[in-house]
């Protein structure tokens, strides 16, 4: 009966309410007009929808908490006269809102309102100094940092911490937490947040430094080379004072323009890298003493010319990924490539690239899909896997192919189980397919018998809203790209580290940690989140010149101006404490897939074409600005699916050439014109 009357009200309301709004403006009245509740407490508020005379509007309204799932409210709807006594219970701390909206058919008749429900965070419990250094030298500065926890032991970044001292004439903080030691003596350093504080005493001692020296191994470096400066603070007797802070800075004059300043980066440990050639003076300062050293930075001079060796135009559809491999059996001595297609007819093309200048499609496989996003070939060159998305029956998955005769490729099996949302990327390693599917996980499928694939394992994160985009396997470690969860290194049968193995793989510290995982039991070894949420591809990289181990994490993201992003060099030399040390980012284009060959990065850069980048030596800062780009090539084709519009998707080095696929025009093979093969500079 109640519902009946409510229905009648609703049906009549449109007319009545419209008349009312002309004469009377409705508004919500909250009694009380705000609430202060702790998490888990229950409060009550009476809400009325009234006209300008304070009379009930005779119209129901909705009640809901914002943000969603932070505030329980009951009932969710008022009675038909426009009044509700609402019981509310907060689940999260913060400034929450109890929102209301009148119910009406016409949008313009709707009235909105809201009241604040202030829910305090749990009281702060403790402040921890991150670097509680208790001795400071007169005349020096040191930045102090703190971390605040509340009674729920949650990190409280929102807590405003004020730093002070007990005597500003001895030592005083600036607004950025830097404590300047002004006079010798003891002083208390105090951190205060709300009603809690933490303090400790520091001793400001006479500064024994009478001299500072500055040394480096080289006087001339190239742009992009990282040079370590070592400053030494010495006392009157020439003894090295080790625990005194040193500040490094630089100035310089560029060798271009008309008196332009030069660009470089120097970090707090004295590592310097220049972006522009010129003359730089590096200064080390401590306690009023300073030392300078001037060096010259020359151009890196790594540029090479690009020669197009071959190009196969695909003019009727978009091209996706590629793979190149040597023929086997009767085709030994020949070379072949496979490319996928995007947003089209579910085709994969097989190419004879034995003579890359005459590359030609020799076979086509068509499956029920609109996008064959990825193509991969097994190490022995006998099996290929292509992905399926956009199947007409929505049963997506991947397809296993026999490619022993690339002129006559045969489908051996389809694998669709629990991959309805589509397989986007795959990798083949040691008779297993790692299939990234449904945007959420990768499944591991045994293809030892290519006619009878079966699932043996699965890797899926458990973070809220997790996703995965790509996976790459090398030496039994799977490197997956997981958007905001960043890169994950997972043991799927990591090669046991053997001290007799003197190859460079010994510098992959993840192998030393491996040993528990297998395709049926993937075990996470390490990872690094991406706070930007752009992680799209990952490639392991043992620097041939420095033996450091990186995971190069590629972005994919776009905005209203087109695709953007870059490649982040995550230093995993210490896998438990990975750090981003450098980034290669073309400002006007978008990063996609990449490959590392020796100390050279091959970067597919969508509208920015193919980029070849020197990543030899230590890597620090903005690689794009350091003159490390060896070459770039804009793959225009007037006969392409989109004419004269480069859009490079993926790349792969093969037999001294660089193959790459262009989404708008097909397959390319290029060569860097130089006496030396591309690689370490």
Chain residues in the site for other proteins (CB under 8 A): 3, 6-7, 10-11, 60, 62, 64, 66, 68, 75-77, 101, 103-107, 110, 112, 317, 343-346, 366, 368-371, 389-390, 392-394, 418, 420-421, 438-440, 465-467, 483-484, 533, 556, 558, 562-563, 590, 592, 606, 647, 663
Using alpha carbons, select from 383, 374, 391, 369 the residue that is nearest to residue 339.
374
541-544's contacts with Cβ under 8 Å and 24+ in sequence apart are 541/569, 541/596, 541/615, 542/504, 542/505, 542/507, 542/508, 543/599, 543/615, 543/616, 543/617, 543/619, 544/504, 544/598, 544/599, 544/616, 544/679, 544/680
The neighbour count for residue 176, using CB atoms within 10 Å, is 7
Query: Of 70 and 213, which CB lies nearer to other proteins in the complex structure?
Result: 70
Question: At closest approach, how far in Å is the CB of 486 from other proteins?
Answer: 13
* Burial of residue 274, with CB atoms counted within 10 A of its CB: 0-12 exposed, 13-18 middle, 19 or more buried: buried
Tokens of 50: 């009234």
Residue 171 or 386: which CB sits closer to other proteins? 386
Contacts of 581 (CB under 8 A, 6+ apart): 550, 569, 570, 571, 619, 620
Q: Where are the beta strands (DSSP E) in 78-143?
A: 83-90, 94-102, 112-119, 124-129, 135-137, 141-143
CB of 646 to other proteins, least distance (A): 13
Give me the least distance between CB of 593 and other proteins, in Å please. Answer: 11
CA angle (253 as vertex; 249, 259 as ends), nearest 5: 140
In the complex, the smallest distance separating the C-beta of residue 370 from other proteins, rounded to whole angstroms, is 5
- In the complex with other proteins, the residue whose CB is nearer, 590 or 621, is 590
Instruction: Give the span between the Cα atoms of 598 and 579, in whole angstroms.
Output: 22
Cis peptide preceding 504, ω within 30 of 0: no
Taking the C-alpha atoms of residue 299 and residue 416, their distance in angstroms, rounded to an integer, is 53
* Other beta carbons within 10 Å of 565: 23
CB nearer to other proteins: pick between 371 and 625: 371
Q: What's the closest the beta carbon of residue 24 comes to other proteins, in angstroms?
A: 21
Between CA 373 and CA 383, with CA 378 as vertex, the angle to 5 degrees is 85
Residue among 76 and 496 whose Cβ is closer to other proteins? 76
Residue among 83 and 171 whose Cβ is closer to other proteins: 83
How near is the Cβ of 439 to other proteins at its closest, in Å?
Answer: 5
Two structure tokens written together for 240: 């090295």
* Nearest to other proteins of 107, 500 (CB atom): 107
Q: How far is the CB of 418 from other proteins (least distance, A)?
A: 5
**Least separation in angstroms between CB 643 and other proteins:** 17
3-state secondary structure of 4: helix
For residues 282, 284, 290, 293, the Cα torsion angle rounded to the nearest 10 degrees is -30
Which residue lies nearer to other proteins by CB, 184 or 461? 461
Element (H, E) at 442: strand 441-446
Q: How far is the CB of 17 from other proteins (least distance, A)?
A: 12
CB of residue 406 to other proteins, shortest distance in Å: 23
Kindly tell me which of 69 and 500 has the beta carbon lying closer to other proteins: 69
Cβ-contact 643, 602 below 8 angstroms = no
Question: Which CB atom, from 25 or from 145, has the smaller least distance to other proteins?
Answer: 25
Least CB distance to other proteins at residue 531 (A): 14
Closest to other proteins by CB, 25 or 394: 394
């Amino acid at each position: 009966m109640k519902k009946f009357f409510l229905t009648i009200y609703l049906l009549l309301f449109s007319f009545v309410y419209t008349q009312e709004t002309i004469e009377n403006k409705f508004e919500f009245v909250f009694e009380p007009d705000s609430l202060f509740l702790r998490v888990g407490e229950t409060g009550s508020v009476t809400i009325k929808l009234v006209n300008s005379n304070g009379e009930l509007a005779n119209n129901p309204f909705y009640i809901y908490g914002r943000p969603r799932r932070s505030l329980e409210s009951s009932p969710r709807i008022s009675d038909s006269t426009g009044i509700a006594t609402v019981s509310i219970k907060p689940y999260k701390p913060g400034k929450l809102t109890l929102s209301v909206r009148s119910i009406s058919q016409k949008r313009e008749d709707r009235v909105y309102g809201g009241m604040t429900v202030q829910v305090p965070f749990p009281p702060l419990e403790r402040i921890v100094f991150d670097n509680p250094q208790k001795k400071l030298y007169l005349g020096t500065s040191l930045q102090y940092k703190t971390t605040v926890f509340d009674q729920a032991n949650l990190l409280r970044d929102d807590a405003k911490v004020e730093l002070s001292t007990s005597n500003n004439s001895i030592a005083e903080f600036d607004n950025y937490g830097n404590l300047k030691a002004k006079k010798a003596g003891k002083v208390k350093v105090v951190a205060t947040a709300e009603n809690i504080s933490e303090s400790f005493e520091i001793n400001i001692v006479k500064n024994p430094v009478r001299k500072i020296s500055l040394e480096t191994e080289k006087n001339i470096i190239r742009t992009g080379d990282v040079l370590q400066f070592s400053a030494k603070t010495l006392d009157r007797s020439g003894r090295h004072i080790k625990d005194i802070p040193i500040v490094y800075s630089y100035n310089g004059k560029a060798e271009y323009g008309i008196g332009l300043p030069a660009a470089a980066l120097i970090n707090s440990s004295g590592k310097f890298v220049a972006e522009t050639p010129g003359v730089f003076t590096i200064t080390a300062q401590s306690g009023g003493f300073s030392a300078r050293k001037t060096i010259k930075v020359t151009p890196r001079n790594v540029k090479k010319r690009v020669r197009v060796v071959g190009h196969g135009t695909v003019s009727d559809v978009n091209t996706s990924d590629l793979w190149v491999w040597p023929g086997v059996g009767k085709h030994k001595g020949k070379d072949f490539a496979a490319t996928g297609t995007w947003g089209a007819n579910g085709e994969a093309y097989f190419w004879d690239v034995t003579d890359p200048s005459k590359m030609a499609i020799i076979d086509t496989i068509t499956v029920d899909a609109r996008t064959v996003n990825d193509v991969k070939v097994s190490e022995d060159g006998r099996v290929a896997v292509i992905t399926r998305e956009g199947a007409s029956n929505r049963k997506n998955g991947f397809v296993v192919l026999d490619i022993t005769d690339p002129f006559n490729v045969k489908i051996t099996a389809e694998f669709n189980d629990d991959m309805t949302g589509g397989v986007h990327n795959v990798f083949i390693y040691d008779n297993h397919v790692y299939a990234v599917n449904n945007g959420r996980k990768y499944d591991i499928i045994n293809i030892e018998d290519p006619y009878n694939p079966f699932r043996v394992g699965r890797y899926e994160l458990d973070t809220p809203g997790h996703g995965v985009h790509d996976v790459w396997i090398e030496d039994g470690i799977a490197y997956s790209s997981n958007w905001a969860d960043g890169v994950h290194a997972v043991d799927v049968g990591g090669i046991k580290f053997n001290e007799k193995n003197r190859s460079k793989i010994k510098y992959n510290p993840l192998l030393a940690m491996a040993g528990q995982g297998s395709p049926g039991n993937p075990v996470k070894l390490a990872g690094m989140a991406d706070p930007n949420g752009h992680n799209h591809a990952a490639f392991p990289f043992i620097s041939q010149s420095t033996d450091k181990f990186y995971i190069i994490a590629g972005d994919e993201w776009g905005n209203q101006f087109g695709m953007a992003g870059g490649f982040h060099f995550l230093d995993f030399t210490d896998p438990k404490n990975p750090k981003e040390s450098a980034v290669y980012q073309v400002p006007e284009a978008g990063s996609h897939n990449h490959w590392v060959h020796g100390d050279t990065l091959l970067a597919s850069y969508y509208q920015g074409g193919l980029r070849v980048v020197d990543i030899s030596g230590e890597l620090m800062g903005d690689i794009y600005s350091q003159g490390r780009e060896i070459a770039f090539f804009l793959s225009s084709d007037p006969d392409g699916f989109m004419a004269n519009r480069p859009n490079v998707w993926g790349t792969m080095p093969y037999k001294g050439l660089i193959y790459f696929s262009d989404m708008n025009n097909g397959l390319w093979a290029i060569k860097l014109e130089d006496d030396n093969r591309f690689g370490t500079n």
